[in-house]
Chains A and B, each alone.
Chain A
């Protein structure tokens, strides 16, 4: 029981005192049990008052402090810092909100407002009387980080972390690194190819001893919490030894393979063998065998002795202090028949078109042996859906399309471009590309979502029709040799990372940050950050920005040997626990487990102090620190007694 409590009642200029008789409040609480000092002040947050409070606490050896002022969201931190400066534990401070909860909403009833303020302050005093000093929890941390996904975001984050001196495990599920940008040709504004960017990042990664890169590596399990995660990673074999880099032999081995399957690197518009690599000088530079399609005929092994079909998968156990997730995106796959997709032969997606442009020889562009001259682009396919789940704008696609169209003319000068848009969003510096495209004769049409353009195929001709709002809604038609559906971004498919790491997803199915603006790379799981397009549509620049910011945040978790975590967590009284398992079911963070004594125990570094476990416990064995039953009951008593 605290017996030397200081109470400060704030005028807030007149914000409070115009409606609440603060002097009356002071008088009403001054004689309360345990109150030593009760004062009013014009501005509690003012520097002079803060100094006065420090002095009061020190001179009178106060053991509890209440400030009745504005919302705790505004100044609770301020006053907690004041009491700490005076040598008091910050949990011996309780904040009473008599502005947002009293003076502002009850400006029509001054007497009632004053009465309510008195009760609220008395309740705060009741709580502070029972408050206990507690200290932040200290956790030992493993100074290593797991980065999931070796795309542009993951690679950049890994490099950044390693430069700060942290050990980094960079794992990539695919047999090759680079993620999506390895598939893209010339990127906008910088005019480098995706491959160039990947090779620059790769060179930096392999020359860096702090980074361990694994390809064909998939996270299968993860235990632990901030500071100490144990990640289990499955390593799929390549079946081709890394020493096999003789390009000629490799080429022969690939050509010997009798199996042909759609090539996902080219989004299915070409075929590849069961043993493959996507392009010369890809990283890692040796081929891989896709065991899902391999028939184990052994033809390749006859040519190259460095191919071993009997390699086995391995498992790694990585101990890390933090995890950075950068699993990227998939291009949206249109539904069967959406703008003629999969029904009309020359309707393809932007990703497919980009690959087609990349691997076609300069000169005349062809699609299924027919020359291509007129290209029609249909925008916002799979984004800004009226009826579907993808309400969002995918951000990168307007720019990507216009950039692709502009660059295509370097290789194929005869191409004409017709853009069927829902409004062009080439934001920022990318606007210049839109200007260049218009100027060089690209035609842009626009329609609203309620009246989309239509793709028709008749008499061996494909036409796109639109009621163009830029031309008085006149119905215009373009005969197109190829129709490109500008598909947006969706999260990577078969991505079970969120199940393993318990990462929450938003309504759009991308991973959710804690706060879009203020905590943009942290997740609700302490110690796990997100970067790049797994969080939502981003272009390369934005992905790298978020990767660097996630790297810094991650470093803040593992940079020191020890980590402080908030002590306001749940606490089990072992004698009362009968282990019914209700609390573990209620916990959204998997913070409660059954310990060796057969009772519930809270993992304090995982617990968020949400309180979900409290009401489900039949024996009342769980208490939340700083919000214990007796503290809350004493507040209720005060509030109820006055009525």
Chain B
């Protein structure tokens, strides 16, 4: 027995869903989807659960993560119900459901709250700098410490508990009889999907899907490498020419690729870039700003300009703080984690079901 809940659909619209109510259950979306299988049939089923407001079923489902949004379903939907965008919205919704703090839910549904959070971070960073307690050099040291603390803190306080919640909702609640062996075997899938997003390649090649995948792939690698270079190799403090050039390369990759991603969203040249939630804009723009500002800071350092133009670092550290404290734990960045873990959990569930070893 499950009650029909109309408020759920209204809520989902705040997460970016458009016109999914227009669905008349023909199933064209599921038929054209290259990733949908008999076992994992979507998107129609998810649309139906959304229309009837079965939020608990959605919470326990991994299917929204199995979709890589090629956009074919939206292209072929005879009712223009935009199933692809619904799947995207469900992923946003799931991020907020997994988040124990509830902040994701507020940020996704409320642009004002989101902007206020960004402003608060600016005030905090600028305030600390202007308080005069720190010299420019020690401020940069502090920035470096902040990076390390933020990574550890966000991981321990937000990411880990949220992943455990996700595991509880999607695996534990369904009484899936998985043993430790299944968890071990499936680990391969976790890492493959985390670093390659190779399922995208199985998508129907709408427009330049493969080009998009490649850009996304080097962006992920570039991003993770830059993270490593700045945090663990202390890019801004190092004298090593190798490390310095690596940092240049990685930050350049980030702002060049994200610039292209911003352009795609502006041009709306494919289904997946046509509909942008405000969090999507923040995500690409802030990633772009981060790459560009990091690049600029290192450039100013190398030309001894940073002392005179210290605002460059100030901008960089503000963007970085906003990124690390808002976008990463409570927004689109979590796709990176949840998607790969969804593939991992899905594999475990399948292994447990078929009893394979």
Give me the interface of A with B, judged by CB distance under 8 Å.
416, 418, 424, 434-435, 438-446, 465, 468, 470-472, 474-479
Contacts and interface: CB of A to CB of B under 8 A. Distances in A.
Interface string B70-113: 00000000010000000000000000000000000000000000
Q: Closest 7 CB pairs between A and B?
A: A439-B22, A478-B4, A438-B22, A471-B48, A470-B25, A441-B21, A476-B4
A138 to B, nearest CB: 59
A465 B2 CA distance: 9
A441 B9 CA distance: 8
Interface in B32-54: 45, 48-49, 51-52, 54
A477 B2 contact: yes
A476 B4 CA distance: 6
A461 to B, nearest CB: 12
A456 to B, nearest CB: 11
A474 B6 contact: no
> Which of A434, A465, A474, A479 has the largest count of B CB atoms less than 10 A from its CB?
A474
B1 A443 contact: no
B3 A470 contact: no
A441 B81 CA distance: 12
Contacts of A439: 19, 21-22, 79
Contact of B49 (A416, A441, A471): A471
Interface in B1-28: 1-4, 6, 9, 19, 21-25
Interface of B: 1-4, 6, 9, 19, 21-25, 45, 48-49, 51-52, 54, 79
Contact of B2 (A416, A438, A444, A474): A474
A299 B171 CA distance: 78
A326 B61 CA distance: 57
A470 B48 contact: yes
B45 A438 contact: no
A445 B24 CA distance: 10
B21 A475 contact: no
A451 to B, nearest CB: 16
Contacts of B79: 435, 438-439
A477 B54 CA distance: 11
B105 to A, nearest CB: 22
21 contacts: A418-B4, A435-B24, A435-B79, A438-B21, A438-B24, A438-B79, A441-B6, A443-B6, A443-B51, A465-B1, A470-B25, A470-B48, A471-B45, A475-B2, A476-B2, A476-B3, A476-B4, A476-B52, A477-B3, A477-B4, A478-B4
B29 to A, nearest CB: 14
A354 to B, nearest CB: 23
Contacts of A440: 21
Given A434-B24, A438-B79, A472-B45, A443 B19 contact: no
Contacts of A477: 1-4
Contacts of A446: 25
A67 to B, nearest CB: 55
A63 B93 CA distance: 92
A514 B19 CA distance: 48
B327 to A, nearest CB: 32
Contacts of A479: 3
Contacts of B22: 435, 438-439
B5 to A, nearest CB: 10
A80 to B, nearest CB: 53
A468 B52 contact: yes
Contacts of A435: 22, 24, 79
A443 B19 CA distance: 13
A394 to B, nearest CB: 21
Contacts of B3: 476-479
A434 B6 CA distance: 18
Given A471-B49, A476-B52, A478-B4, 17 more contacts: A418-B4, A438-B23, A440-B21, A441-B6, A443-B4, A443-B21, A443-B51, A445-B52, A465-B1, A468-B52, A470-B25, A471-B52, A472-B45, A474-B54, A475-B1, A475-B2, A476-B3
